[in-house]
Every structure is written in C-alpha cells, then in structure tokens.
Structure 1
C-alpha cells in the first residue's frame, strides 16, 4: 500500500481521514508488513481463505511458507483467469471466480488493478459474480478454517456482518482484514463490526483502516 500526494490532499479536505493516515504512518514505523505472513500453528494440514486474491501473491506466499491449502476468491474475471493460469499446476491452491457476500447476485467492479472495487464509481467497470456466504459455508467441507484474509475494497462491510449472521465466524481461527475508509460513515460501520467480532474473537493487533488481526477466543 502506497500513499500518493493525491491521498494526502484528501486529508486536508476530509479531516476524518486522519485515522487512516496516522495508523498508516505507525504501520510503516512498526515494520508490520512482514507480520501479515507470520502465523503460529499453520501447517500443510491447514485450510486458508484468501478473499480478494488479486494477483495471488499472498496466497502463493502462504502456500510456499506453510504448505497450507488456500482457497482464493476473486470476482474480477480477468484477475480470476490469471489466477487459474498461475495455480493450474498447484493442487493445493483453489481459485473461486466469485465474491462472497450477503446475497447472491452480480457486482460491477471498477477496473483499477489492486484498487478494483464495487464501492468506487468509475466509467470503466466489469461485472463479477457474488455468492451468498451463508450458502457457501453450509457446503464447504472443512469445519475449521485456520486463517481468512479479507481485502475486498469495501466489500468487508457486507461480507463480515453476513458471516456473523450465519453463525460462521467461529469457524475461522484467525481473521486478518483491511477495512477501507471511503466515507466518514465507514468509521461507525467498522466499529459496529468490531463489536460483533468481539463475541467470538479477540483482537491481536490493529492499525485502523490499514490492517488488523483477530484470533478465535479461547473457551
């Protein structure tokens, strides 16, 4: 994640964005990027979800490091096809060419590389499929998912409440999520979801609107 001059100018216009910029500076000072790949207890028997796969670099790194089975979810048709081609010879990485959300349907994605989003308005857009996460989790074989990474450019505000509502959150041992701050109201939305997460998980660390990690609470 890089911060451009354009983004810094937004801060002058929208002071509520200071939460993100302060957290991002602290993230850089703490050299936290490497921590996004370090997980205790992951092994070749672990199951991992990469929700928002993009180019597949995170999925590849986790598979290389731990040998875990990784399920990559990517609704952008071109990105999904590249992922299929990249991992066609790796039986432990499965590509799902759809998004997970509260309801089945379609979403119109901006076509902006790693910032492609169903939230940002743009003249350049493609269409991707959404499947209801409640139905997907009912049919997914593994009861325990050791790790889920969520980076879906605003879609987390739909997906995570749907996971909570479907009573599926307790199946995830570790959650790593990037909340996105597009508007001032996202501050309250994030706090509401964090409140729901506290029913099943404990915050391990948090840099607001950069990255945060939650671990399943011990009984």
Structure 2
C-alpha cells in the first residue's frame, strides 16, 4: 500500500534566523517526509536497541505511524517525551501507550517528562 506524505514548508520565527549582520532574516525550509520504516529498510537496519523521541509534539504523529508497521516490534527500547502543549495530548498519549502495550512494557515513566517502553 502506498501512502502519499505531505510536503512540509516550515518558517522559522525571525528571532531565530539572523543574517551576517545579526539582523532578523526571513527563512523557510522545504523538507520531504519519508516513512520511518522505509528509511530503516533503506539503511538496512535489522535491529534497533534504542530510539529516543523528543520532537516537540511530533511524537503524536510519529508513534502511531511507527506502530502501524510491524517493524516497530523489533525496537528494543522506545524512550519518548510527550508534550502537553498539544491539544488533546493526554488523550492521545493514553491511546498511543495502550497500542504500544501490545508489544512493549513500561519500564519507567515520569509522565510528560520521559518514559521508557521495552519489548
């Protein structure tokens, strides 16, 4: 099954981008989004001991995507920092952890700080 992933154009806040004179500068970046499983296969990774995810809210998109592929069961440890500034963060976190519990167990958890799931 083929999935079309969106093309993302991000714009950095002016206070984060400076020209050579130190003045704020408008900047945007185009990136291609690829499936996690395709990248893993392309790199010929046959085992992942630890994946550490701290992507400022992106975990709510990445983890369901990763769990939709059987290769996630081959990741020994998943460490994730869930972020609360995302709308419905608590509800989405519960759903992700419920699905993840089918293949992994919680070793430790500092809710919305860091947690580790292992298989």
**Aligned match for 1:189, one of 92, 96, 100:** 92
Which residue is equivalent to 1:167? 70
Give the paired residue count: 105
Cα distance, 1:208 vs structure 2: 1.3
Q: In structure 2, do the counterparts of structure 1 residues 204 and 110 end up closer, same or farther at CA, with 3 Å as the change threshold?
A: farther
Take 1:135 and 1:197, find their aligned partners in 2: how far apart are those partners? 20
Corresponding position: 1:215 with 2:118: yes
- 2:45 matched to 1:142? yes
Among 86, 106, 115, the alignment partner of 1:203 is 106
In structure 2, C-alpha distance between the alignment counterparts of 1:214 and 1:168, rounded to whole Å: 15
Offset of residue 171 of structure 1: 1.7
Q: Output the CA distance in 1 between the equivalents of 2:11 and 2:100.
A: 27
| Partner-residue secondary structure (3-state), 2:106 | strand
| 1:186 Cα deviation from its structure 2 partner | 0.9
- TM-score w.r.t. the length of structure 1 is 0.43
| Distance across 2 between alignment mates of 1:166 and 1:125 | 35
Alignment of 1:25-174 (within 5 A): 103=5, 105-108=7-10, 110-111=12-13, 126-129=28-31, 130-174=33-77
| 1:200–1:127 CA distance, 2 compared to 1 (3 A) | same
Separation in 2 of the partners of 1:151 and 1:110?
19
Q: Which residue of 2 aligns with 1:30?
A: none
TM-score, scaled relative to structure 2: 0.75
Cα 1:183/1:147, change in 2 over 3 Å: closer
Unaligned residue ranges in structure 1 (runs of 5+): 1-101, 114-123
* Equivalent-residue separation in structure 2 for 1:208 and 1:128 (angstroms): 33
In 2, the alpha carbon distance for the partners of 1:171 and 1:103 equals: 24
Deviation at 1:169, TM superposition (A): 1.2
The root-mean-square deviation of aligned C-alpha atoms, in Å, is 2.3
Normalized per residue, the structure richer in helix is 1
